[in-house]
Structure 1
Amino acid sequence: TPITTDVVMESDGGFDFVVAESEENEISFLENSKTKTVTTSANDGITVAFLIKPKKVGYMKIKVTATSETESDGLVEKLLIKPEGETHYENKASLVTLKEGETFEESVEIKIPDNIVQDSERVSFTVIGDILGPAVNNLDDLLRMPYGCGEQNMINFVPNIVALEYLNKAHKMIEKIKTKAISN
C-alpha cells in the first residue's frame, strides 16, 4: 500500500531555501520552512532533497520532520558550514639580534583580499626568542627510530645529532630527550 508523507525542513534563520533555475539564476526564498510531499511503498525508502544557502560560516541547526497519516518522526542535526575557496597563507619572518638593553619594534601590514569569504579571516603571530625554538618544542616528532637500509638510517640520524648538539650548547638538555635520541 502506498504511503504519502509530508517531509518538512525548518530554518532557524541560519539559511535560506533556494530554487535553482540555473547556476547563475538561483532564487532564494525567505521562508521558515519548506514542505515536500512524497509517496512510497511500506518498508521502502526515498530520498528527499532541499536546496539551501547558508548565511554564515560555522555550525547550523537542521531540523527535518516526516509525517504520514499514522506515523511521524523527526531529526535535528548540526551541520558545519566551512568557507568556500582556498586558504591563503602568508608568512613574514624577521630575524632580530639584540644586544643587552636594546629594543625592537616592527609594524606589519596585513592585507586582506577584497574577495574574502565573510567571517573566514584568521591572523596569528608567533614570536620565538630562540631560532630553533619550534624544533625544540616538537622534538618528539623530530627524533626518529632507525628502519630500512643504511642510507635511510643515516639520513634519519641527522636530526637527532643536530638536536643533541643544539641542546648541549644551549644548556637545555632534558634527560628523557637525550635517552630517546641516543637510543635511536
Structure 2
Amino acid sequence: MAEDIEIDTDDLQRRMDGAMTSLRQEFASLRTGRASASMVEPIVVDAYGAPTPINQVGTVNVPEPRMVTITIWDKSLVGKAERAIRESGIGINPVIDGMTIRLPIPELNEERRRDLAKVAGGYAENARVAIRNIRRDGMDQLKKAKGSGMPEDDQKIWQSEIQEMTDAAIKRIDDALETKQEEIMQV
C-alpha cells in the first residue's frame, strides 16, 4: 500500500509556472518609457454596473513609441474610463479627444526609474512568496504521505525534488527581476 503513495509534482510545477506567468504580466504593466498596450491591461472600468477590463470597452493601440490610444466604443463610458486610468496609479494623465483617450508617455526621470525598480522588486517578492506557499503545500502533502506509511527514503527523494523545483522557480523570478530592472534603468 505504501508503494502507491505519490506527491503530485505536476500540479506543484503548474502552480509555480502560473506564479511566473502572473509575474510576467505584472512586469509588462510597468512602463519603461516606451508605450505598450499591456500597461493598461490591469485597468478596470465600471461599465454598466460591472467591473470590466479597459480593453473590453475600447480598442487599445500604440500609434507612436510614446503614445497609447484607447478608442472607447460607448460614449457614456469615456468619463468612466478616464477616471479609471487616473485612479489606476500608472502615473499618466489621460487626454480626451472625442471618444479617444490618449495617454502620452513622458520620459522617465532617475527618481521615477528607481521607484519603478522598487515596484518590480515588490512584484518579484510577491511571486517568491507564492512559490514558497506552493512549496509548503507540497511539504504538507509529504507529511500526510508519511502518516500513510511512506518510507523515509521516498520522503527524502520527494522532499529534494520539491526543493529543486522551488529553487529553479525562485531563480527564474530573480533572473526576470534582474532583466526588468536593467530595462527600467536603461536611459
Higher relative contact order (CA 8 A, sep 6+): 2
- Structure having the higher strand fraction is 1
The reply to whether TM is greater than 0.5 is no
Q: TM-score, normalised by structure 1?
A: 0.26
> TM-score scaled to structure 2, two decimals?
0.26
